[in-house]
Structure 1
Amino acid sequence: MLLKIKRVPTVVSNYQKEEGRCGRNCLNKCCINGARLSLYTCKNVGEKTESPVNFLESLVLGEWEDRFQRGLFRYDVTACETKVIPGKYGFIAQLNEGRHLKKRPTEFCVDKVLQPFDGNKFNFTKVGQEELLFQFEASSNDDCEIRFFPNMPLDADNSPSVVAINVSPIEYGHVLLIPRVLDCLPQRIDHNSLLLALQMATEAANPYFRLGYNSLGAFATINHLHFQAYYLAMQFPIEKAPSSKITTTDNGVKISKLLNYPVRGLLFEGGNSMKDLSDTVANASVCLQNNNIPFNILISDSGKQIFLLPQCYTEKQALGEVSSKLLDTQVNPAVWEMSGHMVLKRKEDYEGASEENALSLLAEVSLSEERFNEVNTMIFEAIGFSIQEDEEEEEAEVEEQSSIDGVFIRVHCCPSVI
């Protein structure tokens, strides 16, 4: 049975609704010849070297602020109200009425995590070049320097990875990382692209700057490979959740399951190298994709931790198993909501926000314990391990995640790196 639901797509570009020939400086062949954009190359492996430019403050947030001043966003996200919901978890609620715009609903297939790229639909080759911030790539293995080039050609023959603004931002500095944008990759995890996202988190070197990924069926709204990222100067609830170690892989990656958190998920950390950590999560993600299981990824703590969160909300929604009360909120529980940052579109929901309401939503997102165990078995078979708690440990090792100062700081201008 083909599952479809009526979806109202999120607008991430000012040119998302346009049809036909542009004449507006896009990334397609008609406009890209002669286009130039700054390029940041990070060190591929090993110890981080000194950068000629501060990545987070000068590039991501500085360029984002420039586009804000130029009026490229659909609304002022810094004016959105935000509060911490009282309770055990400390969920963060934001009133973002700007993302709740009346648009023509489209049919959205939710039962296929893997779908081919369709160039007739909106994709990131159609964005205006003024929405791009810079190119981002890893240096070659024999190049141990971080480099910044302020004015480099966009090479159509060597598809660049770019960072662009999200014109409907959730938070300050909300950007999109689009790997190899001109290759028109569908929204699916591959090893190289996940490593690039992890490198970006590492270069930012700030625990308040996170990257997220939504698969198709888990509230990705555009089938063109991309990650999202933004800056929020407080700890996400998921980052405070305790965890229970399952195993450590041969390459040093520790895999744990979340405990006492409303969404069941896995936490990956450590590894003998950044690539080891990335490859392990990529293998698990490919397994989920191949088994048609929607999922979300949060890259946290400057790339030191990766949360992998399978979910089932859209399937329940398509089958009519989600309450009308939840549906009326029109909240899309993607990676940010699953991590505890609730983006609410109606003032009544924001004013009445409670931990009970947040838990009700996340209960519909999370897999059941039985299904979660089945999915974990698939994942561990895919990465070459069986799920067995260490027999020498009679009790699970529970670790509180590294604590970040929980004081909320609303940022209206480029903050200093904390």
Structure 2
Amino acid sequence: MVSATNLDGDYSFHGKNTPLDQFEGVKIHLYRLGTEQRELDALKSSACADQGSPSLLDTIILSQWENKSREGQLAYDVTACKLKVIEGERDFVIQMNDKWNSFLLNEYGKFSHPFGCSKLSSTKNCGELLLCIEEGEKNEPEVVPLTTPPNGGVMLIANAYPVEYGHIFLVPNPTNRLSPFWDKKMFGLITKIASEVNSAAFRVFFDGTSIVPNHTDFQACYFASPLPVESASTVPVYDMKTRSGVRVYETVDYPLKALVFCSNNAKALVNVVSEACLTLRENNTAHSLMISNNGRNVFLFPQVKSLVTGCYLSAWECCGYFVYHAKVDFDRACEAEISSRMASFSPEDGAFEDLKDLCCAIADDLDTCACAE
């Protein structure tokens, strides 16, 4: 997909023997978002995605991730794993990977002190640090090489057991969280990061399920093609035609019920989705998210626990992307089986109608407040 790139001059990133690979006192490259990007966010359109050269942040992330891959920090080469599209109405994507499992994924996702190597459960995790991102005060983004990560930033950490190319954790500093589960400020920063990357292949995921309890750790991967849920038909649920411009849709003819929030106004989008997620959490409703389209679309998947396994779908499984451990299961996979499995996690119609009403009410309240300002 994208080859590793050495960045010259002020943005030089070296592949080996950097202070990042020493385990005493974390020093890492810091990327500060530009204020101009935030001001222009509402003016962006889908048409501008992926045109021209890759963004600076996109190049840094992929360069650092591929460096970690070459250095042996990753357990396997995920690009060598076999992929197959299940032909049918939904074109589910499946991967054959006998080295991946969700338990290993969760082990590497739980960083209670991501900004201090001495406090991590394993020093191996320090070798997987890529960079830190925070809000900046200048118009243009800037890179500060090899510095101590700030309290208000998000640490990008390579997933040693990747599900797809460029798989990373985005871990907020726990000392700056407003909530052990969800922090609207951090969700806003994650959305801005997705916008700054400016790549149609970049998707960010969040699992608000018991699989990873009390964690606001996000994950991101690069996917070469649209995920099946992104191609699903939708019908409008709410269209805010006033100040904030948030629109809400629901998927149709897709086995797992989902809502899609869309807006060019990043702040309004973050506010609506955050309030919905906090309410779901208060009601003990498991859910997963995907951020796509450079931060302008958010997919929300409410879930019920499987009566068979006692688990939930991961966010990428909600989107129609599945990893198989056994070749026999990979070879036998079919659309009917996958659809049936997904549908078993979908909430009842009544509960989903309540969620739609809730999201419309939240959007109305926030828009009323915005218009009153």
Does the Cα contact within 8 Å between 1:187 and 1:216 map onto a contact in 2?
Answer: no
Q: Which runs of 4+ in 1 moved over 6 A?
A: 48-53
Aligned residue type for 2:130 = L
Q: Which amino acid aligns with 1:79?
A: A
1:175 corresponds to: 168
8 Å contact 2:33–2:134 — kept in the other structure? yes
In structure 2, relative to structure 1, the CA distance for the partners of 1:46 and 1:354 (3 Å cut) is same
Residue identity matched to 2:112: N
Structure 1 position 244 matched with structure 2 position 204:
no
- Structure 2 residue aligned with 1:201, among 189, 194, 201? 194
**1:175: how far off?**
0.3
CA shift at 1:287, angstroms? 1.3
| 1:132/1:164 contact within 8 Å kept | yes
| Distance in 1 between residues matched to 2:365 and 2:341, nearest whole Å | 32
Letter in 1 for 2:173: R
Q: Counterpart in 2 of 1:94?
A: 95
The structure with more helix, counted as a fraction of residues: 2
What's 2:345 paired with? 365
What is the CA-CA distance between 1:252 and the residue it aligns to? 0.9
Aligned to 2:143: 148
Question: Which residue in the other structure is 1:136 paired with?
Answer: 133
Q: Secondary structure at the match of 1:149?
A: strand
Q: Distance in 1 between matches of 2:103 and 2:54?
A: 44
Q: CA deviation at 1:224?
A: 3.2
1:291 positional shift: 1.4
Partner of 1:265: 258
Taking the aligned partners of 1:355 and 1:331, their CA distance within structure 2 comes to 21
Is the 2:74–2:160 Cα contact (8 Å) retained in structure 1? yes
CA contact (8 A) 1:51 1:147 kept: no
**TM-score normalized with structure 1 length:** 0.70
Which residue of 112, 123, 128 maps to 1:123? 112
User: Structure 2: which amino acid aligns with 1:78?
Assistant: T
What is the Cα deviation at residue 60 of structure 1? 1.2
**Judging changes above 3 Å, is the alpha-carbon distance between structure 1 residues 335 and 159 closer, same or farther for their aligned structure 2 residues?**
same
AA of the residue aligned to 2:145: P
Tell me if the contact between 2:183 and 2:216 (Cα under 8 Å) persists in the aligned partners.
Answer: no
Aligned-residue offset at 1:51:
10
Aligned residue pairs total 322
Distance 2:246 2:313 in 1: 28
Retained in 1: the 8 A contact 2:96–2:327? yes
Tell me what 1:229 maps to: 220
SS of 1:234's partner is: coil
Paired with 1:384 and 1:309, the residues of 2 have a C-alpha distance of 21
1:144, 1:209 → 2: CA distance? 24
1:40 and 2:42 matched: no
Using a 3 Å threshold, how does the CA distance of structure 1 residues 197 and 212 change in structure 2: closer, same or farther?
A: same
Q: Given residue 57 of structure 2, which amino acid in structure 1 is its aligned partner?
A: F
Contact 1:331–1:345 under 8 Å retained in 2: no
- The answer to whether the Cα contact below 8 Å between 2:30 and 2:149 also exists between their aligned partners in 1 is no
Once the two structures are TM-superposed, the CA of residue 232 in structure 1 deviates from its matched residue by 1.2
> SS at the partner of 1:213?
strand
Residues 284, 382 of structure 1: 8 Å contact kept: yes
Question: What's the CA shift for 1:338?
Answer: 0.6
CA distance in 2, matches of 1:169, 1:379: 33
Measure, in 1, the Cα distance between the counterparts of 2:180 and 2:253: 31
Distance in 2 (alpha carbons) for counterparts of 1:384 and 1:100: 41
How far apart are the structure 2 equivalents of 1:53 and 1:88? Answer: 34
2:284 is aligned to: 292
1:37/1:150 contact within 8 Å kept: yes
Amino acid at match of 2:219: Q
Code of the residue aligned with 1:258 in structure 2: it is T
Amino acid at match of 1:371: A
What is the DSSP-based 3-state SS (H/G/I as helix, E as strand, rest coil) of the residue aligned with 1:98?
A: coil
Give me the CA root mean square deviation: 3.0
Does the aligned pair in 2 maintain the 1:331–1:343 contact within 8 Å? no
Q: In the alignment, is the contact (CA less than 8 A) between 2:256 and 2:301 conserved in 1?
A: yes
2-structure distance, mates of 1:102, 1:55: 30
Can you list the C-alpha shifts for 1:209-236, whole angstroms capped at 9, x where unaligned? 100100133x33x643211000110110
- Matched AA of 2:56: N
1:389 corresponds in structure 2 to none
Partner of 1:340: 320
- Matches of 1:184 and 1:99 in 2, distance apart? 30
Q: Does the C-alpha gap of structure 1 residues 138 and 228 become closer, same or farther in structure 2, counting only changes over 3 Å?
A: same
Instruction: Identify if the C-alpha distance between structure 1 residues 186 and 246 changes in structure 2 by more than 3 Å, giving closer, same or farther.
Output: same
**Distance (whole Å) between structure 2 residues aligned to residue 186 and residue 131 of structure 1:** 26
Measure how far apart 1:202 and its partner are.
0.7
Which of 206, 228, 235 matches 1:213?
206
Whether the aligned pair in 2 keeps the contact of 1:262 and 1:362 (CA below 8 Å) is yes
Q: Which SS does the other structure have where 1:151 is aligned? A: strand
**Partner Cα separation in structure 1 for residue 175 and residue 365 of structure 2:** 36
Q: Deviations over 1:56-77 (max 9, x none)?
A: 1x21111000000111112221
Change in CA separation of 1:245 and 1:342 when aligned onto 2, cut-off 3 Å? same
Q: Which residue of 1 aligns with 2:47?
A: none
| Alignment match, 1:55 | 57
